[in-house]
Amino acid sequence: MALFVAENLRKRFGARVVLENISLSIEEGSVHGIMGPNGAGKTTCFHVLTGHHRPDGGRITFDGRDITGKKPHQIARLGVSRSFQIMNLFDDTVVIENVILALKQFRRNGMNLLRDVFSDTKLIDQAIDVLDQVGLAHRAWEKAAELPYGERRALEIAVALAPEPRIVFLDEPTSGLGTEATRALAVLIRKLRARYTIVLIEHDMRFLFDLADRISVIHWGQVIDENTPDELQSNKWVARSALGEVA
């Protein structure tokens, strides 16, 4: 069953039409990839789907509920989480504090940032559990700034998982990662797919084609193809856009 559906989304900035007509249907429990050349509108699409930009037209439903035009925090509260292309971590704090601040229970308690974040052992246990999901429990008490880059990416995913979402949008998670860290991230996403629905924007074709159940190809603000990785291999636009020839 489709958990998250976008129908005929449109978004323009002034005279510039960035999303011309985007429709997506994301099945519960799947890994859904979004690919396309630079400037195709992928990140704008994520911004619209998660409430950071209001669409000029179209409709978005999550679990059968219309969320079009809702604010990011309202959408997040329903169980939609996301990471950003530029990492959004609190570097001055320890790893676990980044996760505690994003926990559903911590936020429900009123988000008083002056309150001692570490006063509730239940929250600490919950945060350790989330860190364990991404293989970072052993780093819990280290400074976030001191983690190697690949583990910072994993921490960012932990922050996205902390609010107990049903669906997680990840914007270019392999960005800046070397071969080893990319491989580790693929292992992590394979593990997480048992528990979450995952939507990925990716430029790394091998990574995306290995992980995704289905992929939507965005170009000129439209979905020009949507299929399984195997079927997509034969699409000449996909091959050319992967090479950046139609950017």
Task: List residues binding ligand ATP (CB under 6 A).
Answer: 13, 16, 18, 36, 38-44
Shortest separation between residue 44's beta carbon and ligand ATP, angstroms: 3
- Judged by CB, which is closer to ligand ATP: 46, or 62? 46
- Judged by CB, which is closer to ligand ATP: 37, or 165? 37
Shortest separation between residue 20's beta carbon and ligand ATP, angstroms: 11
Shortest separation between residue 38's beta carbon and ligand ATP, angstroms: 4
Backbone angles phi, psi at 212, to 5 degrees: -80, 145
- Judged by CB, which is closer to ligand ATP: 29, or 72? 72
Shortest separation between residue 63's beta carbon and ligand ATP, angstroms: 25
- Judged by CB, which is closer to ligand ATP: 44, or 133? 44
- Judged by CB, which is closer to ligand ATP: 36, or 163? 36
In Å, how far are 73, 118, 177 from 124, measured between CA atoms?
A: 23, 7, 29
- Judged by CB, which is closer to ligand ATP: 56, or 120? 56
Shortest separation between residue 138's beta carbon and ligand ATP, angstroms: 33
Shortest separation between residue 237's beta carbon and ligand ATP, angstroms: 15
